[in-house]
Amino acid sequence: MSVSVEPLGLAGVQLVSPVVHGDQRGFFLERFRASEYAQHGIGPFVQDNHSRSVRGVLRGLHWQLPPMAQGKLVSVLQGSILDVAVDLRHDADSFGRWVSAVLDDVSFRQLWLPPGFAHGFVVLSERADVLYKTTAEYAPELERGFAWHDPDVAIAWGEDAPQVSKRDAMLPRLRDLTESDLFTKASAS
């Protein structure tokens, strides 16, 4: 096995730690191997996305609805982020709960978010390059989001005044969304 997988307390959300081989020359790791990740219910993937952001930038919280709901495998190529998943399955006991993990270019850990979860991150380093694989292609008509600073969800971002896009600054609170903007346990699987 070239990875170990740790559940993070929300159904299907997992922290993935690859085996890193390092010496005086640098390091080598398998960032992804389809057959191994599939054993943990991760994938298959159809699109890669790459973003570069500076310290204090917050991107999120976003998701796509079925039939283009996206599972995401998030990793950091350079820098450090706090990565967050929020349960959007309105019929789950954990609806509205969140988990987070620091992802960086030192531990090489990855976060797997299956469909049914909102995703967002804030940059902790001077700059961060974030790469994430998705299980469905981008479909803007099915994209949704909710406010990063929603007091009902109360995510501990560790950043009081992050830089957000104009679009993200206008997102509604989670409680203002309708069930058609969310998932059920069945629609997320």
Active site residue 119: no
- Of the candidates 37, 132, 138, 149, the residue annotated as catalytic is 132
CA–CA distances in Å: residue 86 to residues 39, 45, 75, 118, 127: 24, 21, 17, 5, 24
Name the percent of the chain in helix, strand, coil, to the closest 5. Answer: 10, 45, 45
Residue 152 is which amino acid? D
CB distance 63 to 70 below 8 Å: yes
| Tokens encoding 189 | 């699987």
Active site residue 40: no
Q: What CA–CA distance (Å, rounded) separates 159 from 178?
A: 29
Amino acid sitting at position 31: R
| C-alpha–C-alpha distance, residues 61 and 84, integer Å | 8
**Three-state secondary structure call for residue 155:** coil
| Catalytic pick among 50, 62, 90, 149 | 62
Residue of 52, 54, 50, 33 whose CA lies nearest to 42: 33
The amino acid sitting at 113 is L
* Catalytic residue list: 62, 132
